[in-house]
Amino acid sequence: MNSYEAKQAARKARFEERAAKASAESASTYDRARSMGQSIPFGQPILIGHHSEQRDRNFRNRIHDTYGKAFALQDKASHYASKAASVGTGGISSDDPEAIQKLRAELAHVEASQERMKAANKAIRAHKTPEDQAAALVALGFTEAQAAEAVKPDFCGRVGFPSYALSNNNANARRIKGRIAELEKRGQREDVEKEGDGYTYREDTEENRVMFVFPGKPDEATRAVLKRNAFKWSPSRGAWVRQLNNAGLWAAKCVREALDKAEPTA
Protein backbone atom coordinates (compact mmCIF):
# COMPACT_ATOMS: atom_id res chain seq x y z
CA MET A 1 0.00 0.00 0.00
CA ASN A 2 1.54 3.33 -1.06
CA SER A 3 1.15 6.67 0.73
CA TYR A 4 -1.92 7.69 -1.27
CA GLU A 5 -3.64 4.33 -0.71
CA ALA A 6 -2.84 4.61 3.01
CA LYS A 7 -4.46 8.06 3.10
CA GLN A 8 -7.52 6.70 1.29
CA ALA A 9 -7.78 3.79 3.73
CA ALA A 10 -7.49 6.19 6.68
CA ARG A 11 -10.15 8.45 5.14
CA LYS A 12 -12.49 5.50 4.66
CA ALA A 13 -11.88 4.42 8.27
CA ARG A 14 -12.68 7.94 9.54
CA PHE A 15 -15.99 7.98 7.67
CA GLU A 16 -16.85 4.49 8.95
CA GLU A 17 -16.03 5.55 12.51
CA ARG A 18 -18.23 8.65 12.21
CA ALA A 19 -21.05 6.54 10.76
CA ALA A 20 -20.80 4.03 13.62
CA LYS A 21 -20.72 6.80 16.22
CA ALA A 22 -23.76 8.56 14.75
CA SER A 23 -25.63 5.26 14.47
CA ALA A 24 -24.93 4.42 18.13
CA GLU A 25 -26.00 7.92 19.23
CA SER A 26 -29.16 7.58 17.15
CA ALA A 27 -30.06 4.27 18.80
CA SER A 28 -29.47 5.58 22.34
CA THR A 29 -31.40 8.79 21.60
CA TYR A 30 -34.31 6.79 20.16
CA ASP A 31 -34.37 4.55 23.25
CA ARG A 32 -34.39 7.63 25.47
CA ALA A 33 -37.35 9.07 23.55
CA ARG A 34 -39.25 5.77 23.88
CA SER A 35 -38.51 5.64 27.60
CA MET A 36 -39.79 9.19 28.02
CA GLY A 37 -42.95 8.33 26.11
CA GLN A 38 -43.62 5.23 28.22
CA SER A 39 -43.81 7.37 31.34
CA ILE A 40 -47.10 8.81 30.05
CA PRO A 41 -50.00 6.39 30.61
CA PHE A 42 -51.37 5.05 27.33
CA GLY A 43 -54.16 7.32 26.06
CA GLN A 44 -53.57 9.94 28.77
CA PRO A 45 -54.68 13.31 27.35
CA ILE A 46 -53.33 16.71 28.35
CA LEU A 47 -55.45 17.99 31.21
CA ILE A 48 -56.59 21.38 29.93
CA GLY A 49 -56.64 23.97 32.72
CA HIS A 50 -54.88 21.68 35.20
CA HIS A 51 -51.77 22.99 36.96
CA SER A 52 -49.78 20.26 35.15
CA GLU A 53 -50.87 21.34 31.65
CA GLN A 54 -47.82 23.42 30.69
CA ARG A 55 -45.35 20.97 32.23
CA ASP A 56 -47.05 18.11 30.35
CA ARG A 57 -46.93 20.01 27.05
CA ASN A 58 -43.23 20.82 27.53
CA PHE A 59 -42.46 17.16 28.32
CA ARG A 60 -44.32 15.92 25.23
CA ASN A 61 -42.47 18.48 23.11
CA ARG A 62 -39.17 17.18 24.47
CA ILE A 63 -40.21 13.65 23.50
CA HIS A 64 -40.97 14.86 19.96
CA ASP A 65 -37.66 16.73 19.71
CA THR A 66 -35.73 13.71 21.03
CA TYR A 67 -37.26 11.46 18.37
CA GLY A 68 -36.36 14.10 15.77
CA LYS A 69 -32.77 14.16 16.99
CA ALA A 70 -32.60 10.35 16.77
CA PHE A 71 -33.81 10.40 13.15
CA ALA A 72 -31.37 13.22 12.27
CA LEU A 73 -28.50 11.20 13.74
CA GLN A 74 -29.52 8.19 11.67
CA ASP A 75 -29.47 10.37 8.55
CA LYS A 76 -25.99 11.52 9.58
CA ALA A 77 -24.89 7.89 9.97
CA SER A 78 -26.22 7.07 6.49
CA HIS A 79 -24.41 10.10 5.06
CA TYR A 80 -21.02 9.01 6.43
CA ALA A 81 -21.62 5.38 5.50
CA SER A 82 -22.26 6.50 1.92
CA LYS A 83 -19.09 8.61 1.90
CA ALA A 84 -17.08 5.67 3.24
CA ALA A 85 -18.48 3.40 0.51
CA SER A 86 -17.53 5.93 -2.20
CA VAL A 87 -13.86 6.20 -1.17
CA GLY A 88 -11.68 4.72 -3.90
CA THR A 89 -14.49 4.38 -6.44
CA GLY A 90 -13.62 7.49 -8.44
CA GLY A 91 -11.06 5.85 -10.69
CA ILE A 92 -7.30 6.41 -10.67
CA SER A 93 -6.41 9.65 -8.90
CA SER A 94 -3.60 11.89 -10.11
CA ASP A 95 -2.56 12.13 -6.45
CA ASP A 96 -1.63 8.45 -6.46
CA PRO A 97 2.18 8.13 -6.84
CA GLU A 98 1.55 4.93 -8.82
CA ALA A 99 -1.01 6.60 -11.09
CA ILE A 100 1.09 6.25 -14.27
CA GLN A 101 1.71 2.53 -13.72
CA LYS A 102 -1.96 1.95 -12.98
CA LEU A 103 -3.04 3.95 -16.02
CA ARG A 104 -0.68 1.96 -18.23
CA ALA A 105 -2.19 -1.26 -16.90
CA GLU A 106 -5.67 0.12 -17.58
CA LEU A 107 -4.61 1.16 -21.08
CA ALA A 108 -3.25 -2.32 -21.78
CA HIS A 109 -6.59 -3.80 -20.70
CA VAL A 110 -8.54 -1.38 -22.92
CA GLU A 111 -6.30 -2.06 -25.94
CA ALA A 112 -6.56 -5.82 -25.40
CA SER A 113 -10.34 -5.47 -25.22
CA GLN A 114 -10.30 -3.54 -28.52
CA GLU A 115 -8.29 -6.25 -30.27
CA ARG A 116 -10.56 -8.92 -28.78
CA MET A 117 -13.70 -7.20 -30.10
CA LYS A 118 -12.15 -6.75 -33.55
CA ALA A 119 -11.09 -10.42 -33.65
CA ALA A 120 -14.59 -11.47 -32.59
CA ASN A 121 -16.24 -9.43 -35.33
CA LYS A 122 -13.82 -10.87 -37.89
CA ALA A 123 -14.63 -14.42 -36.74
CA ILE A 124 -18.36 -13.73 -36.92
CA ARG A 125 -18.07 -12.37 -40.47
CA ALA A 126 -16.16 -15.52 -41.49
CA HIS A 127 -19.06 -17.82 -40.52
CA LYS A 128 -22.67 -17.85 -41.64
CA THR A 129 -24.65 -19.70 -38.98
CA PRO A 130 -25.03 -18.56 -35.35
CA GLU A 131 -23.78 -21.96 -34.19
CA ASP A 132 -20.56 -21.69 -36.20
CA GLN A 133 -20.13 -18.05 -35.15
CA ALA A 134 -20.51 -18.94 -31.46
CA ALA A 135 -18.07 -21.84 -31.83
CA ALA A 136 -15.52 -19.49 -33.42
CA LEU A 137 -15.86 -17.07 -30.49
CA VAL A 138 -15.39 -19.88 -27.97
CA ALA A 139 -12.21 -20.82 -29.81
CA LEU A 140 -11.02 -17.22 -29.26
CA GLY A 141 -11.48 -17.59 -25.52
CA PHE A 142 -15.04 -16.32 -25.01
CA THR A 143 -17.27 -18.31 -22.69
CA GLU A 144 -20.26 -20.04 -24.23
CA ALA A 145 -22.60 -17.54 -22.56
CA GLN A 146 -20.58 -14.58 -23.92
CA ALA A 147 -20.47 -16.13 -27.38
CA ALA A 148 -24.22 -16.76 -27.41
CA GLU A 149 -24.88 -13.15 -26.38
CA ALA A 150 -22.49 -11.78 -29.02
CA VAL A 151 -24.15 -13.61 -31.91
CA LYS A 152 -27.67 -12.68 -30.78
CA PRO A 153 -29.04 -9.95 -33.11
CA ASP A 154 -29.74 -6.60 -31.42
CA PHE A 155 -32.76 -4.36 -32.11
CA CYS A 156 -31.21 -3.40 -35.47
CA GLY A 157 -30.41 -7.00 -36.41
CA ARG A 158 -26.67 -6.51 -35.85
CA VAL A 159 -24.49 -9.26 -34.40
CA GLY A 160 -21.08 -9.03 -32.79
CA PHE A 161 -19.71 -5.86 -31.22
CA PRO A 162 -21.29 -2.71 -32.70
CA SER A 163 -19.14 0.07 -34.16
CA TYR A 164 -20.06 2.45 -31.32
CA ALA A 165 -18.58 0.03 -28.78
CA LEU A 166 -15.29 0.03 -30.68
CA SER A 167 -15.40 3.84 -31.05
CA ASN A 168 -16.11 4.34 -27.36
CA ASN A 169 -13.31 1.99 -26.40
CA ASN A 170 -10.90 3.84 -28.69
CA ALA A 171 -11.95 7.16 -27.14
CA ASN A 172 -11.30 5.73 -23.70
CA ALA A 173 -7.83 4.62 -24.80
CA ARG A 174 -7.07 8.13 -26.11
CA ARG A 175 -8.26 9.64 -22.81
CA ILE A 176 -5.98 7.33 -20.81
CA LYS A 177 -3.01 8.09 -23.09
CA GLY A 178 -3.68 11.80 -22.60
CA ARG A 179 -3.66 11.41 -18.82
CA ILE A 180 -0.43 9.42 -18.93
CA ALA A 181 1.23 12.11 -21.06
CA GLU A 182 -0.02 14.84 -18.70
CA LEU A 183 1.27 13.02 -15.62
CA GLU A 184 4.64 12.30 -17.25
CA LYS A 185 4.98 15.98 -18.12
CA ARG A 186 3.96 16.93 -14.59
CA GLY A 187 6.61 14.57 -13.21
CA GLN A 188 9.27 16.73 -14.89
CA ARG A 189 7.94 19.89 -13.25
CA GLU A 190 10.01 21.48 -10.48
CA ASP A 191 8.68 22.92 -7.24
CA VAL A 192 7.91 26.65 -7.25
CA GLU A 193 7.80 29.07 -4.34
CA LYS A 194 7.25 32.81 -4.73
CA GLU A 195 6.47 35.60 -2.29
CA GLY A 196 3.45 37.71 -3.12
CA ASP A 197 1.75 40.68 -1.49
CA GLY A 198 0.94 39.17 1.90
CA TYR A 199 1.07 35.53 0.83
CA THR A 200 3.42 32.76 -0.29
CA TYR A 201 2.62 30.97 -3.53
CA ARG A 202 3.76 27.36 -3.98
CA GLU A 203 3.60 24.61 -6.58
CA ASP A 204 4.33 21.38 -4.69
CA THR A 205 4.92 18.47 -7.07
CA GLU A 206 5.09 15.86 -4.31
CA GLU A 207 1.76 16.96 -2.84
CA ASN A 208 0.40 17.53 -6.37
CA ARG A 209 -1.03 20.83 -5.16
CA VAL A 210 -0.84 24.49 -6.04
CA MET A 211 -1.28 26.50 -2.85
CA PHE A 212 -1.43 29.88 -1.17
CA VAL A 213 -0.04 30.27 2.34
CA PHE A 214 -0.92 33.29 4.50
CA PRO A 215 0.66 34.40 7.78
CA GLY A 216 -2.79 34.37 9.39
CA LYS A 217 -6.42 34.04 8.40
CA PRO A 218 -6.92 36.06 5.19
CA ASP A 219 -9.60 38.74 5.14
CA GLU A 220 -13.06 38.13 3.75
CA ALA A 221 -12.28 39.66 0.33
CA THR A 222 -9.21 37.44 -0.08
CA ARG A 223 -11.15 34.36 0.97
CA ALA A 224 -13.84 35.26 -1.58
CA VAL A 225 -11.21 35.42 -4.36
CA LEU A 226 -9.79 32.05 -3.33
CA LYS A 227 -13.20 30.38 -3.13
CA ARG A 228 -14.30 31.91 -6.43
CA ASN A 229 -11.33 30.16 -8.03
CA ALA A 230 -12.12 26.83 -6.31
CA PHE A 231 -9.31 26.93 -3.75
CA LYS A 232 -10.14 25.16 -0.50
CA TRP A 233 -8.66 25.50 2.95
CA SER A 234 -6.50 22.49 3.90
CA PRO A 235 -5.89 22.37 7.68
CA SER A 236 -3.27 19.62 7.30
CA ARG A 237 -1.23 21.78 4.90
CA GLY A 238 -2.05 25.15 6.49
CA ALA A 239 -2.81 26.48 3.02
CA TRP A 240 -5.51 27.15 0.44
CA VAL A 241 -5.05 24.48 -2.23
CA ARG A 242 -6.08 23.13 -5.60
CA GLN A 243 -4.79 20.19 -7.59
CA LEU A 244 -1.63 20.93 -9.56
CA ASN A 245 -2.97 20.71 -13.10
CA ASN A 246 -3.58 23.15 -15.94
CA ALA A 247 -6.90 24.29 -14.48
CA GLY A 248 -5.32 24.78 -11.05
CA LEU A 249 -2.39 26.75 -12.48
CA TRP A 250 -4.73 29.01 -14.43
CA ALA A 251 -6.88 29.58 -11.34
CA ALA A 252 -3.73 30.36 -9.30
CA LYS A 253 -2.70 32.93 -11.92
CA CYS A 254 -6.11 34.60 -11.59
CA VAL A 255 -5.84 34.63 -7.79
CA ARG A 256 -2.33 36.11 -7.82
CA GLU A 257 -3.38 38.85 -10.21
CA ALA A 258 -6.39 39.68 -8.05
CA LEU A 259 -4.42 39.69 -4.79
CA ASP A 260 -1.51 41.70 -6.12
CA LYS A 261 -3.91 44.36 -7.47
CA ALA A 262 -6.08 44.44 -4.34
CA GLU A 263 -6.21 47.62 -2.31
CA PRO A 264 -4.75 47.16 1.19
CA THR A 265 -7.45 46.97 3.84
CA ALA A 266 -7.40 49.25 6.85
Average predicted confidence (pLDDT) for the chain: 91
Q: Compute the CA torsion angle 41, 45, 49, 54 (nearest 10 deg).
A: 70
pLDDT surpasses 70 at 58: yes
**pLDDT confidence bin for 266, thresholds 50/70/90:** very low
Per-residue model confidence as pLDDT tens digits over 245-261 = 889 999 999 999 999 88
Closest by CA position to 183, among listed 203, 202, 205 = 205
- Which pLDDT score is estimated for 145? 94
Residue 205 predicted with pLDDT over 60: yes
- Cα→Cα distances 231→9, 88, 92, 157, Å: 24, 22, 22, 52
How far apart CA 8 and CA 99 sit, in angstroms, is 14
Is the pTM here over 0.85, yes or no?
Answer: no
pLDDT band at 262 (very low <50, low <70, confident <90, very high): low
